[in-house]
Structure 1
Amino acid sequence: MVSLLGKTVFITGGTKGIGRAIALKCAANGAQVAVVARNVEGSPVVSEIQAAGGQGIALSCDIQNEEQVKAAIIQTAGAFGGIDILVNNAATLVLKTTEDISMTEYDTMAGINTRGTFLVVKHALPYLKQSANAHILTLCPKPQLDERWFVSNLAYTMSKFSMGMLAFGLSAEQRMYGIASNALWPFTTIDTDGLAECNNAQFQARPRKPAILADAAFWILSQDSTAFTGNFCIDEIVLREAGVCDFEQYNSVPGTPLLELSQDHMIAPEQLNRLIDLRRQASN
């Protein structure tokens, strides 16, 4: 594993939820962390980063706005001497059918999830190319041509699968520069503001804490960027393969059995089968 000590991490949507958890995990391991969000005013995340043991800055940035993105990246590189890691966490969630979604909602979701992610990557690449162990990590599922992912939330699925195509394509495009690109997605729903707003009782019932994604992200970002790239990772699979045994620590509802956790709705069949095998091995 490669140390994050002195590395600079740029995280979109980093003031709360999953982004914040990843920021604090990286900071606790010696990283310099820049978090960006549309509005960082009043956020305690910088003081939390410092308390965790790292250095941090928080920048207001709408990732749909190219000039704001360029300014945030330049400011980060100027403050910390470069950028080693990019975490594409920012996203917006609108779970509606084609008839029900407004074009304003569609444009916002496509503008943040798809275009915004691409835009941040585009302007971060010149700095990542200068890093000795550069990583891009995108929070998105593995694209799948399966009707069940499209039937209820077509626009959202399109935007998240586009992020997955970007993550995979970047691995091929940037491999020659030693830049890793991987995707990470949770096996269960995660207890965040977005989950609270989705109005789905099944998803909200027994989620896990953002810490499980932060721990999985840290493992990925600590790998050799020339050897670990092009992967669609699932948080629990990453951690089980890394030797983690205690998953109760991640439950938002203490004592929840594994089979009663609220499962995310975008898990590929081969990912599910791999997790079943790992759980079976752990129980033997």
Structure 2
Amino acid sequence: MTQHARIKELLDRAHRLGADPRNTNYAGGNASAKGTAPDPVTGADTDLMWVKGSGGDLGTLTEEGLAVLRLDRLHALKEVYGGADHEDEMVAAFDYCLHGKGGAAPSIDTAMHALVDAPHVDHLHPDSGIALACATDGEKLTAECFGSTVAWVPWRRPGFQLGLDIAAVKEANPDAIGCVLGGHGITAWGATADECERNSLHMIRTAEAFLTERGKPAPFGKHLDGYAPLPTPARRDRAAELAPHIRSLASQDRPQIGHFTDTDTVLDFLSSTEHPRLAALGTSCPDHFLRTKIRPLVLDLPPTAPLAEAIARLKELHSAYREEYAAYYTRHADPTSPAMRGADPAIVLVPGVGMFSFGKDKQTARVAGEFYVNAINVMRGAEAVSTYAPIDESEKFRIEYWPLEEAKLQRLPRPKPLATRVALVTGAGSGIGKAIAHRLVAEGACVAVADLNAENAAAVADELGGPDKAIAIPMDVTSEEQITDAFTAAALAFGGVDLVVNNAGISISKPLLDTTARDWDLQHDIMARGSFLVAREAARVMRDQALGGDIIYITSKNAVFAGPNNIAYSATKADQAHQVRLLAAELGEFGIRVNGINPDGVVRGSGIFAGGWGAQRAATYGIEEENLGAFYAQRTLLKREVLPEHVANAVFALTAGDLSHTTGLHIPVDAGVAAAFLR
């Protein structure tokens, strides 16, 4: 088999296994293949191993995500291995076993794949396999489930010694197709890629069937009185009310993005009598607790408790959680341990409502929630046939604060300037709003794309990368209900809102005597009143979050420039401009900064200009509509046309941190219109 064919075979197998969450979780597990390829210097055939590298994901693995290593050098490490106290040295040595340019960085599980005497090896984290691995009598249950075809390997931290252990178990059990790793997951092997995959799937499905057939009907105990899930609308409303408060608690050490989950799995667990005991035991599989922390914060009130009481109790529990986490760190840290990374919870469970998970970005927050759902499934399986018994706390600490894990964190790229910030942009389906949304996402923010045109909003959100980056929200800024719903959607998607851009608007260009009361009211309802309503709801959320925030008004040079045939539009822009000053004065005590941007006419890409405003302004100036942008440019001091991205640049400048002490400011983005100079 050619090198290309072998790599394709490995990637296809990885993709099939990684596509089904029953087989493994996101970024969990590895797959490998062994074979020969020419040495790039001598041309001689060399025994190699291709294996998923550190930080990759089986379901989306690419050739660039594979580490390529020489088997002779990997096996030579057995001769210099100094025992479990020297694990970290062995991982560092993997870099000297790379073939050619090496590909991706080798993971901690490299030894497991290299030392097992099989051409193909899979290491996976299926819920069913971990349930057996985390049961009190897991070894006995493994034998009952699989007979002699699957061996048991007691818990050992991932590393070189674990690779030696599995290799020895395989050699001692020639009939075995794989093994269950205590407290961890499963490993399977095969002579061919197809056989290895079949063995992996056989282990997973057999364990699933065993747990189903042998398991008791209510592994989490009876339902707690008063802890049943709220009806869906009430549950979502309560989650949105709690989200900013919980995000505030989870962001005490560093700002976090949130994610909300209210699946039946979560709600059923939280309505059971045993959930406090099991949650306190924490997760077990290293992949789980590295993302969820060793245990969640659990609200111990029924979902019908008054909101103020629930918020107060969450604050008490959060304070206790931080003290307990600090004590956990102190119990196990030694002089070589990395500094404590933060004591806030990554998972917050609210009975009858759902689960809030947190991370440095939306994907991390979402994946943390997915991992805790995996943990719930593991607990259910273990409790169904035995008793859930995760690995010792000291072992969890050894992995959580492993210098190798710390080194992996240090290799991560620096966060972008707007990372962990959630923005809501009105009128973001086109023109200036669309450009602002694109710039904010490019700088690391998550964005709620709000627009009256639902199709445009959806298209922009899709352009921005989908739900881990942006969500689309149909919103009419004249509707208080739709505005409230928009902030609810943002809270459920990302945990809250930190940055709001009041951009939605229309333009009615008529002489005074032709401007009707309806024209006036419509112009002011959308822009002056709409901006006020959006800012009011934003202030509520930002106050509850206690993380500060930014409110930006896209006003206009017309807020200070007097031109003909523009009474309704210019007056409402002046209204918006003064809202900036008023709100800056009022909201400063909450750390909320309010600023404005005054563009000149932005023609290109503008829904307003395309909707008739351009034709009206062109008629006022006696020019062709297609020349309007050039006309505006020529009347400026710099002779430059103002484009949507120029306004987006100003939004970024105001919100990215360098102007942290600026509020109540209006920035002209007009290429220099002397009559609009601020005085």
Q: Which secondary structure does the structure 2 equivalent of 1:228 belong to? A: coil
How far off is 1:144 after superposition?
A: 6.4
Task: Tell which deviates more after alignment, 124-133 or 194-203.
Answer: 194-203
- Kept after mapping to 2: 8 A contact 1:134/1:225: no
- Pair 1:204 & 2:613 matched: no
- Pair 1:67 & 2:67 matched: no
Equivalent position amino acid for 1:35 in 2: V
- Kept after mapping to 2: 8 A contact 1:189/1:203: no
Which residue is 2:666 aligned to? Answer: 232
How far off is 1:142 after superposition?
A: 6.5
- Pair 1:165 & 2:578 matched: yes
2:434 to 13, 16, 20: 20
How far off is 1:141 after superposition?
A: 3.5
Shift in alpha-carbon separation, 1:208–1:151, aligned structure 2, 3 A? closer
Q: Percent identity?
A: 29
Equivalent position amino acid for 1:229 in 2: T
1:45 to 442, 450, 460: 460
Shift in alpha-carbon separation, 1:142–1:209, aligned structure 2, 3 A? closer
Equivalent position amino acid for 2:523 in 1: M
Output the TM-score relative to the length of structure 1. 0.77
Q: Tell me how far apart the structure 2 counterparts of residues 99 and 14 of structure 1 sit (CA, whole Å).
A: 33
Output the TM-score relative to the length of structure 2. 0.33
- Kept after mapping to 2: 8 A contact 1:180/1:228: yes
1:115 to 518, 529, 545: 529
How far off is 1:131 after superposition?
A: 4.9
Matched positions, count = 242
What is the RMSD computed on CA atoms of the aligned residues? 2.7
Select the structure with the greater relative contact order (CA < 8 A; seq sep ≥ 6): 1
- Pair 1:92 & 2:501 matched: no
Equivalent position amino acid for 1:204 in 2: G
- Pair 1:79 & 2:493 matched: yes
Which residue is 2:676 aligned to? Answer: 267
Q: Tell me how far apart the structure 1 counterparts of residues 443 and 482 of structure 2 sit (CA, whole Å).
A: 29
- Unmatched tracts of structure 2, length 5 or more: 1-415, 634-640
- Pair 1:175 & 2:588 matched: yes
Deviations 1:185-243 (A, max 9, x none): 2246442232343221464325332111111111111136751111010237xxxxxxx
Q: Tell me how far apart the structure 2 counterparts of residues 25 and 77 of structure 1 sit (CA, whole Å).
A: 21
Query: Which is greater in Rg?
Result: 2
Shift in alpha-carbon separation, 1:180–1:150, aligned structure 2, 3 A? same
Deviations 1:112-157 (A, max 9, x none): 1100100011111121222534100000136867xx6164311111
- Kept after mapping to 1: 8 A contact 2:452/2:476: yes
- Kept after mapping to 1: 8 A contact 2:642/2:669: no
Q: Which secondary structure does the structure 2 equivalent of 1:152 belong to? A: coil
How far off is 1:58 after superposition?
A: 0.9
Q: Tell me how far apart the structure 1 counterparts of residues 570 and 503 of structure 2 sit (CA, whole Å).
A: 16
Shift in alpha-carbon separation, 1:117–1:39, aligned structure 2, 3 A? same
Q: Tell me how far apart the structure 2 counterparts of residues 111 and 104 of structure 1 sit (CA, whole Å).
A: 10
Q: Which secondary structure does the structure 1 equivalent of 2:455 belong to? A: coil
